[in-house]
Amino acid sequence: MATTRYPLTPNAAEFPTANFAPRTKDANSRTVLSFDPTTSQSCWWTLVAWQGLTTPLTLIIHYTMVSAVSGSVYFRAYVEAVTAGDALNIDTTDSFDVANAANAVVPATAGYEQEISITLTSNDAIAAGDLIRIKLDRDAANAGDTAASAAYVHAVELRDNA
């Protein structure tokens, strides 16, 4: 079967009340999410899981570094899947599964695009028709995150490799 690709853009991102990755513009006026090198910041996207979905899903993060040309960035991705009728008050409660994570060495030139792929093996038992949130954060406190500048996330892609 073909790969299903679900684009998650900075303009569609949602944010917590604190420690969020702010939406901004890069030097070329592209809308990005700016993840700080010293504070763990997050955002998420809400969608409905599509028919024919198979797991595990993969999250592809397209990013550039503002000024860092060495070190690594460490991102975590979480899945929250809510089935109609679940005993969960989604107005007051989160139910994200445990983190899926990956890191990558940053490009040797600031502004060059790089990808990080995270396999979502911890996926909250996602099924077609679920109301889902995909949460992304840069784990600035992780020893694997050594790049000393903001990471600009230009786009995120959710893939189903059925």
DSSP codes of every residue in the chain: -PPEEEEE-GGG-B--SSSB--EEE-TT--EEEEE-SSS-EEEEEEEEPPTT--SSEEEEEEEEESS--SSEEEEEEEEEEE-TT-S--TTT-------EEEEEEPPSSTT--EEEEEEE---TT--TT-EEEEEEEE-TTSTT----S-EEEEEEEEEE--
Tell me which residue range forms the domain holding 101: 4-160
Q: What pLDDT is recorded for position 162?
A: 64
What does each of the 162 residues of the chain score in pLDDT, given as a tens digit? Answer: 578 899 999 999 999 999 999 999 999 999 999 999 999 999 999 999 999 899 999 999 999 999 989 999 999 999 999 999 998 899 999 999 999 999 999 999 999 999 999 999 999 999 999 999 999 999 999 999 999 999 999 999 999 976
CATH number for the domain that contains residue 45:
2.60.120.260
pTM over 0.85: yes
Number of domains in the chain: 1
